[in-house]
Structure 1
């Protein structure tokens, strides 16, 4: 099992805790407390994202892609860390915001702005539990499958997403599936149901 996110978060929790201890030793008590809190949040995410536990609903992302205010406050150390990390990773890697795997079906990362969406007013399948649906995307058909980064949705969720995507394509609506392992699993499942399609990206 891939425990990548769990390991990353426990390393972050450790680093933040060491900063907390160092500041405590320097008598910067008030300054140290945010680092202790962030360390505890990171540890909680590490546990919840472990493959043997896997609770993506921890962050309470809603089906419309928004988060409750209390979640944004409580989990802010993690939520804003992953957004900054995602932006920097994409900026430094130079990766494309999306790729078309077959006619009208795209996969890619979290679309943090309009120019990161494929053309044609696509329907969106969101396979993240930590990224919000942007306000400017409210006019797009939307399906939310909260999933930790480096994890896959449940088999039933994948099946539902494939059926949803198939209906959209039958209506000639483009489909954009974004983020992490959910992209790969759903895209592969969609392709297996449509073997007549040419899928150059997935065959690489």
Structure 2
């Protein structure tokens, strides 16, 4: 669903407000206040994550993957909620935290601890705007392209990630691309990187390869549209990176 996160957070906002109102009618005014605040934050995220607005920098995630204190305080109902949901989904699916798609190229979910990182000290491309970087897990570089869950990185962000990833692979450095679960945002960027590196000839083959390696990965229609925009505007024959361009 293209408006997935907006709808989810809209329902969460409505549910929290209903519970708040119910508790208030029972006389639990003080107890109900956190639910009112949670409802407000959920509503704010619902608006900011809508495709027509798409404002992931609302959460204030820094380029080094950390969150400022003000964000951790203000958006705590959402930031800690998504960490909890991410952990639950991982337990339910029982899939590996990451998958090697091709030699030195990994895609996966949020590495909540160093143990959930691929070996070899990979460079990290972080596609989340809502989850923090686990510090000290990579000395080979970190790039964040903040993107809402259920959304797709825009073509410019994909291009930045692809060029950065190509530079790292030119240095024989492994690359780990992750989002929350390793099913959507990160898969979009991995598709583009596989084509740019010449591992596969086209985006369709890239998607098929990732699907074979990580069965729960899914490319939605809006992901396809964004990848096609990137391909139309930034991908040049013969679908291999220009070495001089990568070393700029």
**For the superposition of Structure 1 and Structure 2, which TM-score range results when normalised by the shorter chain?**
over 0.9
Q: TM-score, normalised by structure 2?
A: 0.79
Q: TM-score, normalised by structure 1?
A: 0.95
Two-structure CA RMSD over aligned residues (Å): 1.6
Unpaired segments ≥5 residues, structure 1: none
> How far off is 1:203 after superposition?
5.5
Deviates more, 1:47-56 or 1:182-191: 182-191
Is the Cα–Cα contact under 8 Å of residues 100 and 201 in structure 1 kept in the other structure?
A: no
> How far off is 1:101 after superposition?
1.1
> How far off is 1:93 after superposition?
1.1
The corresponding residue for 1:107 is 107
Could you report, residue by residue, the CA deviation over 1:71-128 in whole angstroms, capped at 9, with x for unpaired residues? 0000000000000000011011102101111110000010001111111000000000
Higher relative contact order (CA 8 A, sep 6+): 1
Q: Distance in 2 between matches of 1:132 and 1:52?
A: 25
The corresponding residue for 1:5 is 5
Is the Cα–Cα contact under 8 Å of residues 3 and 51 in structure 2 kept in the other structure?
A: yes
Give the aligned length.
Answer: 204
Is the Cα–Cα contact under 8 Å of residues 125 and 145 in structure 1 kept in the other structure?
A: yes
Matched residue SS, 1:189: helix
Q: Distance in 1 between matches of 2:61 and 2:134?
A: 13
Matched residue SS, 2:184: helix
1:68 matches 2:68: yes
Is the Cα–Cα contact under 8 Å of residues 128 and 149 in structure 1 kept in the other structure?
A: yes
Is the Cα–Cα contact under 8 Å of residues 79 and 130 in structure 1 kept in the other structure?
A: yes
Is the Cα–Cα contact under 8 Å of residues 127 and 178 in structure 1 kept in the other structure?
A: yes
The corresponding residue for 2:187 is 184
